[in-house]
Structure 1
């Protein structure tokens, strides 16, 4: 077992996944001509870390200038830890991603702190 695996599992035991019962949304949804709409926003909070889009546990926006995904936790929480699992063979697509935490939807949520 790798050190990262041990750290990941101990973190998961310590913290509760608040996103599982949240309400996700995103800027657009990509439609694959063969597979349909596999990349829905809700797939990003299903608790399944599978990184293969075609297994149905990833979200995928259309190609656009400023794509975004967000989840409303439906209640107020103090956030201690955030886990992001990137999609399989497209690691570079997450370059430049920012995680913002807050209540504001002004400027599409971009006014919240990083």
Structure 2
């Protein structure tokens, strides 16, 4: 009985599935164009056809990136390249992270590709503890990066946040969330920042209220759930610490935090 329970728990812990890449966004460092004006764009690596490939120009640190439009715990990544010029991408590196910026120091290296097998699926696995929204393949050489098809397996992280598409002041938003046995959203790290970003993108206002308030007399910022302000993502032009301000996140762009007059009426995000 004990062994059967252990076996079932192991199956559950590795119960991942193929991530549907329809609706995701891809990008790459440059686009190769052949003599027939055919452009080898980034989306060709996730179109389901192993004979249609993406291709950058020859450059140093060429890269390809996918935005999964969610936070996933990644169990494996598979890459297939058909036989052609530059198909061997041995030495390329795979990174997983939360930021779309081309900054490898902010991402976790998932794999350095060793002996890449052309004409076969190359499978790169993890223990399931690697999470992120963006997956980037970087070629740290002065060569083009070619990817014919990419498959990704993993488990989507359920968001603990909920966007409310009603316009309220910061105090009204806080009262609304608490009346629903929730609270205004607090952000502790890059993971929760990303989950809130995904909710903010659905807003009908340009900014959304967060659960980050300001005590004027002490010049002190605080999360409404009493969590310490250990992670910050302020916009450079977010203004000075004045009275009657609270924090709001950008709907678009880099989703930085801004100091806004607390009497403004904005959409807001509750923590379930």
Confirm or deny a common fold (TM above 0.5).
yes
Flag the structure with larger Rg. 2
Shift of 1:49: 2.2
CA distance in 1, matches of 2:103, 2:23: 20
1:40-59 alignment, distance < 5 Å: 40-50=41-51, 57-59=52-54
Partner secondary structure for residue 75 of structure 1: strand
Equivalent-residue separation in structure 2 for 1:84 and 1:63 (angstroms): 20
Secondary structure in 2 matching 1:21:
coil
Moved over 4 A (4+): none
Greater share of helix residues, 1 or 2? 1
Matched-pair contact (CA < 8 Å) for 1:44–1:59: yes
Q: Judging changes above 3 Å, is the alpha-carbon distance between structure 1 residues 67 and 42 closer, same or farther for their aligned structure 2 residues?
A: same
Q: Which sections of structure 2, spanning at least 5 residues, go unmatched? A: 1-15, 110-272
Pairwise CA RMSD of aligned residues? Answer: 1.8
Q: CA deviation at 1:35?
A: 4.6
Deviation at residue 110 of structure 1 after TM alignment:
1.3
Unaligned residue ranges in structure 1 (runs of 5+): 1-13, 51-56
1:69 is aligned, of 64, 68, 84, to 64
Q: 1:60/1:91 Cα in 2 relative to 1: closer, same or farther (>3 Å)?
A: closer
| Alignment check: 8 A CA contact 1:100 1:109 kept | no
Which residue matches 1:53? none
Q: Is the 8 A contact 2:30 2:57 kept in 1?
A: yes
Other-structure match for 1:24: 26
In the TM superposition, residue 87 of structure 1 has moved relative to its aligned partner by 3.9
TM-score, normalised relative to structure 2: 0.32
* CA positional deviation for 1:79: 0.8
TM norm structure 1: 0.70
Cα distance in 2 between the residues matched to 1:71 and 1:15: 18
Greater relative contact order, per chain length (Cα 8 Å cut-off, separation 6+)? 1
In structure 2, the residue matched to 1:4 is: none
Match of 1:98 in 2: 93
Q: 1:91 to 1:60 in 2, by over 3 A?
A: closer
The alignment covers a number of residue pairs equal to 92
Change (3 A) 1:102 1:95: same
Structure that is richer in strand per residue: 2
**Separation in 2, partners of 1:17, 1:48:** 16
